[in-house]
Amino acid sequence: MKAPVLQVQNLTKHFPITGGLFSRVTDQVRAVDNVSFDLYQGETLGLVGESGCGKSTTGRVILRLLEATSGEVIFEEKNIFDLKREEMRMLRQKLQIIFQDPYASLNPRMTVGQTIGEAMEIHSIATGVSKKNRTKELLEVVGLNPDYYDRYAHEFSGGQRQRIGIARALAVNPSVIVCDEPVSALDVSIQSQVINLLEDLQKEYGLTYLFIAHDLSVVKHISDRIAVMYLGKIVEIGAGSDLYSNPLHPYTKALLSAVPIPDPDAMIDRIVLEGDVPSPINPPEGCRFHTRCPFAEEICSQEEPVFKEHREGHQAACHIL
């Protein structure tokens, strides 16, 4: 099997909770806890789970937009958490992000040309006329009129703004892009256009995506492999087709049973999870899903399950498998 382009090893991110007169740390929000996975050249790895499970935090820590509590992210045989500021600045050319909110991610005081071209100047890719020409080319690549170069963000719809965000990410010729729920704020009709654009760009430029989302139908369409996350931990990873047709973990089964099917006569065996998601400040002992799992046994509350391979390329962490 080919070597991964990016390796995430035992990634952990805890946010301190402070209180009292001297703002001492009283507890931790365990947003991401001991997460590991590999990302291979040219693939799309979907990262799914309920809101608040740590998906977006994982993506941002990988890019060092947030500093990790512990763990490693290996890219080009280097742990990016060990890189100094200037080394990390140079590496950002190859690791980019598309943000979730196309309205908040663009500076309202900058034109489209300035927004896309800024990174080219920072990384000494292009300046002056060549920067302008490259920016207009990128606008065409993402399906926008090059004449939009001098317009401002408020003059565009949500879908157009997300295309500008994609063009900005492409401006520095990256190899890996973290797509942080890039279509969740868009209308359904626009979602499909943006997804198709991302797929076309991947084929044209050989891009590798970490695609973060909570919509399983979107993830199924674009992902080669899928990782399912619950309360800061990955509970299952497998090829998209295998995971959808034969899920292993009870949480994955519950998520898939909730996906709407466009057939009013279809008989769907819904798995309704009882109770609320536990607090990441004080997650349950053992398997974190055992408080809501309809199949939980005594061992589930006592020992954390080992994340292991149950079928070729299909891993899960569950005592009852």
- pLDDT tens digits, 81-132: 999 999 999 999 999 999 988 888 899 999 999 999 999 999 989 889 999 9
According to the model, what pLDDT value does residue 253 have? 92
Could you say which DSSP state residue 274 is in?
A: P
According to the model, what pLDDT value does residue 62 have? 97
User: Rounded distance, CA 115 to CA 100, Å?
Assistant: 17
**DSSP state letters, 117-162:** HHHHHHTTS--HHHHHHHHHHHHHHTT--GGGGG-BGGGS-HHHHH
Residue type, 17: I
Q: State mean pLDDT over 212-237.
A: 92
According to the model, what pLDDT value does residue 269 have? 75
Return the closest-CA partner of residue 33 out of 51, 5, 8, 7: 8
- pLDDT tens digits, 274-320: 888 899 999 999 999 999 998 999 999 999 999 999 999 999 999 99
Burial of residue 102, with CB atoms counted within 10 A of its CB: 0-12 exposed, 13-18 middle, 19 or more buried: buried
According to the model, what pLDDT value does residue 220 have? 86
If pLDDT is split at 50, 70 and 90, which confidence band does 267 have?
Answer: low
The answer on pLDDT for 209 being more than 90 is: yes
According to the model, what pLDDT value does residue 263 have? 66
Largest CA-CA distance found in the chain, in angstroms, rounded: 68
For residue 76, what are its two tokens? 């080009």
- CA 52, 153, 91, 174 dihedral sign is positive
| Average model confidence (pLDDT) across the chain | 91
E strand or H helix at 230: strand 225-230
The answer on pLDDT for 198 being more than 70 is: yes
Which residues, other chains included, contact 147 with Cβ-Cβ below 8 Å and sequence gap of 6+?
none
Q: ∠244-182-155 over CA atoms, to 5°?
A: 150
pTM: 0.92
3-state secondary structure 1-30: CCCCCEEEEEEEEEEEEEECCCCEEEEEEE
Domains with residue ranges and CATH for the chain: 6-94+174-317 (3.40.50.300)
The answer on pLDDT for 2 being more than 90 is: no
